[in-house]
Amino acid sequence: MRSVLLFSIFVIVSAVGRPDALPIRIGDPINLIPPATNADGRVVVFAAAVDPDGTPQKGTNIYVYTEPQLRTFRRLTNYAGDSTFTGVTSVAFQGTAISYVASPTGTSGSEEVHLLRQNAFGVDDRTLVTDKEGCIQPLCVSCFRACVGPVHLNADESKVLYAVARQQPFFAVNADGSGLTRLPIYTGSLAPSPQRVISRTGLVVFTSSAPAGPTFAAAATDVYVMNLNGTGVKQVTKFGNASFFASNATISAGAELIAFESNFATDGGQVNQIWVVNPDGSGLRRLSSGDEIAGSPSISADASVVTFTQGGQIKSVRTGGDGTVLALTKLPVSAAANPAVSDDGTQVVFTLASQSASLAAIYRIPTDSTSDIRSFVSIYAPHLLNANGVVNATGYGAPSPGSLISIYGANIGADELVQATEFPLPTSLKEVSLLVNGQPIPLLAVTPWQINAQLPQLAPSGTASFQVRYAGGALSPPVSVDVKSVSPSNFVIPFLRGNLYYPQAAAFHAGTRIVADSDHPAVVGEKLEIYGLGLGVTNPVVPAGIASPASPPASALAKPRLQIGGVDATVTFAGLTPGLAGVYQVNAIVPAGVESGLQSLAWIGPDGVVSYSSIALK
């Protein structure tokens, strides 16, 4: 029984990717802006479009988390608009002041640079600069690029430095909004807002391939320093080779050391690693190693600790020690990013997301020992289901009764893949349940970012309410989803051989586990077993969470039409796969008249909805 169930899960995973790697679907409801922290890591400033309690907002706002008394949040801004892109886009924190960039009207308006301070009477939020020039936007649907930012504060909070996505990108302005100055740097980049780029002495670190003006030949992107007024520009690194580039340069408070990431190498390799160098260019050395990209360096105020990311984990190294790199996290499912080390070097704050999705949580850990997620200090981790994140488990198509479904969200469970191991499928895994119209349904797997479950055949079509229930009865905010009585779609297995890539249907030579792909093509007249979802109610009706019977098999009441290469195929069976839960199969004969090579395979539902993929014929 265990092996049968695990094969069922294998079918799902093979078809739509590893459960832990699946994204939060259809947009980014949280829009989490990476956090900045204070001297000891007890105060964390960030921005998000979801309140800490999981309530979505129509705007991205600044929150302050404080310890050590009661862990409290305070919301400092009140942006609202037509999308999560309205509001804050970057946040810097220094001493008692917060500087940030915001798009007050979303993607189509001007951008503002602010300086904010909390006081006994509330919040003093001052607009320092309004930028109306904009920049070139990416050519994709639902994409937005902030044209202003990152933003940074100097040590005494008297000046704000920020960048724009245009030539001569750097500006400085006084804390009262006076003295706006465009610095004489032709091109360049600043590290993200949570990182220190201005030392106590006013030395600014940045990266550039052409700080003085346009060049007539490609040049390396090196590390530079300058004064906060743009004078005294000095080149720190001298890579020489145009294929080398540095980025995300950050400096210690006393200007003793600069940390940055670069693909510079003396051994022929060009994988980004973490480097440090003295501001005068001496002492260049690499801190990280290995085949995986290292990035996002953060340096403590006294230059003793550098934290960074590598392979989705947070790592740290003491700059004055023997160079030993300590892996601070061992996350099996999620990916850590955006570390910000406290000034005293004892704590690091960072974000968490799935392997390929948007940021969704903030945690804190010490920099001197490896931590398990159960010992992470949770700063911000709202339980959330994406409003458009309930689909059938092929990854596309509406949920339908009897089928496996996938529910995408954030911070659903612990950082592990928890799987059911036997029939009947449980309605709770590690104290996580999925409720549909208030009733728990059988679960196959739970990760922090996704649930795989089976929707009962008796679930009515129409609008249904989905929410997660946790230990103690806590509930995530509900989402409403349209359930279709029939929503046919077959599983797809990506096929890649050299330059050949296509969406291979989960179509197997009958009685085997061999896919009818380019390596094992089908022939005319052969029977194929094609696996998918969405065929709805069967006869007999099989209760959710129970292995489907083999004798008699559960046949779908709505038999799909199936075409191969545009030619109707004879369907000999359509229904639930015996021994599995919530997986349907269609047995069909490859029709005559179909040419050899890659051909389309189409499941066509009674309402005309078509699911396309490919198979190979010889």
pLDDT at 22 over 60: no
Which structure tokens are listed for 536? 């709805």
Structural domain of 606? 489-617
Is residue 131 over pLDDT 90? yes
Q: What burial class does residue 245 get, using C-beta atoms within 10 Å of its C-beta: 0-12 exposed, 13-18 middle, 19+ buried?
A: buried
In a domain, 25, yes or no: no
φ, ψ at 340 (rounded to 5°): -130, 110
Question: Do residues 522 and 391 share a domain?
Answer: no
Question: How many Cα atoms sit within 13 Å of 250 on the Cβ side?
Answer: 29
Instruction: Verify that 340 and 405 share a domain, yes or no.
Output: no
> Which pLDDT value is given to residue 109?
79
Please give the residue that has the higher pLDDT: either 9 or 328.
328
How large is the average pLDDT for residues 580-599?
A: 95
Mean of pLDDT values over 81-93: 88
Q: Please, what's the b/e burial string for 564-578 (b: 16 or more CB within 10 A of its CB; e: otherwise)?
A: bbeeebebeebbbbb
Quick: pLDDT tens for 98-107. 999 999 987 7
Instruction: State yes or no: pLDDT of 611 exceeds 90.
Output: no
Amino acid at 112: E
389, part of any domain: yes
For 373, phi then psi, to 5°, come to -60, -25
Question: Quick one: pLDDT at residue 268?
Answer: 64
Task: Please determine, for residue 84, whether its predicted confidence score (pLDDT) is greater than 90.
Answer: no
Q: Are residues 337 and 475 in the same domain?
A: no
The Cα–Cα gap between 247 and 240 comes to 16
Indicate the residue among 424, 457, 483 that finishes a domain.
483
**Mind spelling out the 3-state secondary structure of 550-617?**
ECCECEECCCCEEEECCEECEEEEEEECCCCCCCEEEEEECCCCCCCEEEEEEEECCCCCEEEEEEEE
Q: Which two tokens stand for residue 479?
A: 């989402």
507, 530 in Cβ contact below 8 A? yes
With a cut of 50, say whether residue 244 has pLDDT above it.
yes
Coil/strand/helix, residue 531 = strand
Are 472 and 325 members of one domain?
Answer: no
Domain boundary among 369, 401, 420: 369
pLDDT at residue 17, rounded to an integer: 33
What's the rounded mean pLDDT across residues 11-20? 34
pLDDT band at 604 (very low <50, low <70, confident <90, very high): confident
Number of domains observed in the structure of the chain: 3
Pick from 435, 458, 483: which residue ends a domain? Answer: 483
**Any domain includes 552:** yes
Question: Which pLDDT band, with edges at 50, 70 and 90, does 8 fall under?
Answer: very low
pLDDT at residue 337 tops 50? yes
What pLDDT is stored for residue 536 in this prediction? 95
pLDDT over threshold 80, residue 565: yes
Residue 82 pLDDT? 78
CATH number of domain containing 357: 2.120.10.30
| Residue corresponding to tokens 């904010």 | 116
Q: Which helix (H) or strand (E) holds 355?
A: none
- The predicted pLDDT at position 26 comes to 34
pLDDT in tens, 428-475: 999 999 999 999 999 999 999 999 999 999 999 999 999 999 988 999
The pLDDT of residue 500: 84
Q: What is the mean pLDDT of residues 395-422?
A: 92
349 with 399, same domain: the answer is no
Clarify whether residues 215 and 301 are in a common domain. yes
Given a cut of 80, whether residue 223 has pLDDT beyond it is yes
Question: Which residues lie closer than 8 Å to 536 by C-beta, 6 or more apart?
Answer: 400, 401, 402, 403, 457, 485, 486, 556, 557, 558
Same domain, 311 and 360: yes
Question: Considering the domain boundaries, does residue 109 fall inside one?
Answer: no
Burial class for 88, CB neighbours closer than 10 Å (0-12, 13-18, 19+): buried
| pLDDT for residue 68 is more than 80 | no
Contact 368, 314 (CB under 8 A): no
The answer to whether position 344 is within a domain reads: yes
- Alpha-carbon span 27 to 18, nearest angstrom: 20
Q: What is the pLDDT of residue 25?
A: 34
Structure tokens at 610: 């078509």
pLDDT tens profile 349-402: 999 998 877 899 999 999 998 887 778 999 999 998 988 889 999 987 899 999
Q: How far apart are CA 258 and CA 92, in angstroms?
A: 19
Residue 105 lies in a domain: no
Assess if residue 542 is contained within a domain: yes
421 and 506: one domain? Answer: no
Considering the domain architecture, whether residues 473 and 458 belong to the same structural domain is answered as: yes
In this structure, are 430 and 566 located in the same domain? no
Are 493 and 519 contained in the same domain? yes
Could you tell me the CATH number of the domain that includes residue 536?
A: 2.60.40.10
- Rounded distance between C-alpha atoms, residue 353 and residue 19, angstroms: 13
What pLDDT shows up at residue 134?
Answer: 85
- Residue 387 pLDDT: 82
Give the predicted TM-score (pTM) of the model: 0.88
pLDDT at 28: 57
Average pLDDT, the chain: 90
Say if residue 308 is in the same domain as residue 392.
Answer: no
For residue 76, the 8-state DSSP code is: -
